[in-house]
Amino acid sequence: MQCSEFTHLDENSSPKMVDIGLKESTERIALARTIIVLPDEVACELDSVDMRSSKGSIFDVAVIAGTQAAKKTADIIPFCHIIPLDSVKIELRREGDQRIIVECRVKATFKTGVEMEALVGCSVAALTVYDMCKALSHEIVIEETKLIEKTGGKSDYFFEDTKA
């Protein structure tokens, strides 16, 4: 197996931010997904209250939190560049009785990709759902977060589900 080099390490294996100074700006788009699994007591309550809590609409608050987080990615991931985002779109939907799918699509015209912004956006949206529902149960599971696709820049990526 051929190993690739980590881009965030210099020749002495010290951490560094990647220099993007000579790269061209292109349109970059990334889509990430997080899956939340709800225990029965949370799923039943969400059905009965139309996705609202005393803190407000659970999905609306999660969208706002995830959008804010995507915009602040460089503040929490040390080597992420500050990227002027063109758009952040977060969608939450129920899948069956006990799953919530969170998707975050981020777009920017810049010199580096927006994968981390999409991953952070859907992660924080999922954490917000957890926060707003934890009074009902701490058995909510944030099952997985993954990059689904990215386009623009040096290469495109599309997640291939080998389980299907």
| Burial (Cβ within 10 Å: 0-12, 13-18, ≥19) of residue 46 | buried
Q: Is residue 4 part of a domain?
A: no
Q: Is residue 16 part of a domain?
A: no
What's the whole-model pTM score?
Answer: 0.89
Q: Is residue 131 part of a domain?
A: yes
Q: Is residue 6 part of a domain?
A: no
Q: What is the DSSP letter of 9?
A: B
Q: What pLDDT is stored for residue 14 in this prediction?
A: 72
Which of the following is catalytic: 50, 131, 156, 161? 131
Q: Give the integer Cα–Cα distance in Å for 37 and 50.
A: 18
Contacts of 45 (CB under 8 A, 6+ apart): 133, 136
Q: Give the integer Cα–Cα distance in Å for 89 and 107.
A: 9
**Is 131 among the residues known to form the active site?**
yes
Q: What pLDDT is stored for residue 56 in this prediction?
A: 74
Q: What are phi and psi of 22, to 5 degrees?
A: -95, -5
CA torsion 143-148-153-156 (nearest 10°) is: 140
Residue 155, both tokens: 């290469």
Find the CATH number of the domain harbouring 105. 3.30.70.640
Q: What pLDDT is stored for residue 164 in this prediction?
A: 45
**Are 120 and 76 a contacting pair, CB within 8 Å?**
yes
User: Which stretches of the chain drop beneath a pLDDT of 70?
Assistant: 1-4, 8, 10, 49-55, 162-164
Identity of the amino acid at 34 = T
Listing DSSP states for 15-80 in one string gives B-----TTSPPEEEEEEEEEEEE--HHHHHHHHHTTTEETTEEHHHHHHHHHHHHHHTHHHHSTTP
Q: Is residue 9 part of a domain?
A: no
Q: How many structural domains are present in the chain?
A: 1
Q: Is residue 12 part of a domain?
A: no
Enclosing domain of residue 79: 26-153
Helices vs. strands in the chain: H and E counts, helices first: 4, 7
Q: pLDDT digit string (tens) for 102-132?
A: 999 999 999 999 999 999 999 999 999 999 9
